[in-house]
Amino acid sequence: MNLKFRAKDYTSDDSFESAEYEYFGNEKEGWEISRNGSPYLHLGPGYIPLKTISCGVCSTDIDRRFLPFPLPQIIGHEVLAEGLGENQGKQYVVEINDTFEARGDKNQDAFCNEGIPTHSPERRVLGIDRLPGGFGPYILAPIHAAISLEGVSPKAAVLMEPFAAALQAILASPPKPGDHVAVLGPRRLGSLILAALASYRKTNQSDFRITAITRHDHLVTLSKAMGADEVVDLRKTDLSLLKNQFDIVYDTTSTASGFESALQITKREVHLKTTNGQVMAGIAHLTELVVDELSILPYSEANTSFHWQKETRKNQNVFVFSGVSEIIKENLKKQFTVFEGNSLEAETFLNSDAFSNRVPRFDFVVVSNPEELSLAIRPNPKNENSLVRPRGAILVDCNQTKNWPENASLVGTFFSAGKEIHSSRCGDFHMAISLLRDNPEITHALETNLISHRFSSDQLELAYATAKDPSSVKVVVDFK
């Protein structure tokens, strides 16, 4: 098959430029992608061509220039598409991770074997990392990432990717019975987290309160429609009155000030769902923390056993930065294989025979200061590898936090109080579809309330600019 078209690439100066693309190949033999007549990307077998119906604008799209992936690129990853050729007439939603598993490749790596295929370093990401995205008229989707749309209306389907991501936050940080949880910034993703919380509560017959926190009139109304039990308007309520009021705060603001507010108003946990690629509260690489779905926890014996729910693995290999107290080091050596040193030495350990034929990451890392914390997430600017396994944890030696610099004192105090930061990224589309089928009133709320603007594909720049405006909620670009 040969598909030739023009599309608007996103560039590093936050603008768009027109480019000519050509996709040539097929599912069994692979594809060659050219851009303006020059080779752009080679894809092996396992991809099917789809025609874009519509694509939502995400906060990640708006902050795309801050992410460590090549530009220019056709961005957009919240895709509703239809099949071509033998799949013509079928509609699909598309999971964004291009992995061995998604392509049906039997030659899988250690990350796939560990049950975390979406964290494989070889993966590409639709509309984010190399693989051309949904703001073009055609995409190439890994065959198992293209999920047939059955039982959910097309109006709600264009929201499937962000709804699945929202649901992942709830599954990674599930409210306990009697909890009072808050969603900070209930706009695009925040509204979907409200909907995910409400549907999760109903399906699981759980008992917890949901509060939305905002400062915009239209988001007060939207939050109630999307499942919030109550809404706090920060124009009328001072943030200081909310300190330590919520068991979990799901922060979707993508701002430094929002993150700092979340640290102050939770009494147990902040779930960081989206960031802007910049330093926040004195900690670098928090965007990468979310990408790797890592957690930051105060050091305790209980937290050395941390793993995600439904994982059966046990922590074995630990890295400890030199600044960590000797008492902690000695305690860890009684239970784990302990590696010690600086970030360069940590990378050397991970490249040694001790980590051959396994995920080359430590099960958790212990740090003593903000610099070590940032290095644990991304030790080397030449690659995107963490010292910690995806969905693992960084533990903070809280005996040292009183010495943290002023710009990180807030987060140091946070950990000293025994509080935690968790994060999550993409979600399971099948689970999200099932939840929406079980909760038709939530599906109706999504269809009715969340999409605030629709634009045709030739108005992409206007759609993008509108999505940046706080008065918008979800902006969708239509291709037919």
| Residue 335 in tokens | 């239970």
Q: HSE, CB side, 13 Å, CA atoms: give it for residue 251.
A: 27
- Amino acid (1-letter code) at residue 354: A
Interatomic CA distance for residues 355 and 87, integer angstroms: 43
Interatomic CA distance for residues 77 and 94, integer angstroms: 8
Percent pLDDT > 70 in the chain is 100
Q: Which of 125, 64, 58, 50 is nearest to 95 (CA)?
A: 125
Q: Which of 463, 391, 432 is nearest to 161 (CA)?
A: 432
Per the CB < 8 A criterion, the answer to whether 396 and 413 are in contact is no
3-state helix, strand, coil in the chain (%, to 5): 35, 30, 35
Tell me which CATH code domain 2-149 carries. 3.90.180.10
CATH 3.90.180.10 residue ranges for the chain: 2-149
Per the CB < 8 A criterion, the answer to whether 162 and 115 are in contact is no
Interatomic CA distance for residues 183 and 193, integer angstroms: 7
What's the count of helices (H) and strands (E) in the chain, helices before strands? 16, 24
CATH 3.40.50.720 residue ranges for the chain: 164-423
Cβ neighbours of residue 477 closer than 8 Å, sequence gap 6 or more:
54, 55, 56, 57, 76, 135, 454, 455, 456, 457, 459, 460, 463
pLDDT number for residue 275 = 75
| Residue 120 in tokens | 């494989």
Which residues of the chain carry a pLDDT beneath 50? none
Q: HSE, CB side, 13 Å, CA atoms: give it for residue 66.
A: 17
Distances (CA, A) of 245 to 8, 131, 281: 45, 42, 20
| Residue 412 in tokens | 């140091």
Instruction: Dump the DSSP string for 388-423.
Output: EEEEEEEEE-TTSGGGS-GGGHHHHHHHHTT-EEEE
pLDDT number for residue 324 = 96
Q: How many residues does the chain have?
A: 480
- Show the CA angle centred on residue 263, arms to residues 262 and 267, nearest 5°: 95
Contacts 24+ apart (CB under 8 A), 30-37: 31/140, 33/132, 33/140, 35/9
Interatomic CA distance for residues 449 and 339, integer angstroms: 52
365 burial class (0-12, 13-18, 19+ CB within 10 angstroms)?
buried
Helix, strand or coil, per DSSP, at residue 34: strand
pLDDT tens for residues 169-189?
A: 999 999 999 999 999 998 888
- Amino acid (1-letter code) at residue 100: F
pLDDT number for residue 187 = 86
Distance between the two ends of the chain, CA-based, in angstroms? 22
pLDDT number for residue 277 = 75
Interatomic CA distance for residues 4 and 21, integer angstroms: 6
Interatomic CA distance for residues 284 and 394, integer angstroms: 14
Interatomic CA distance for residues 232 and 17, integer angstroms: 41
Q: Rg of the chain over CA atoms, in angstroms? A: 22
- Classify 164-423 by CATH class: alpha beta
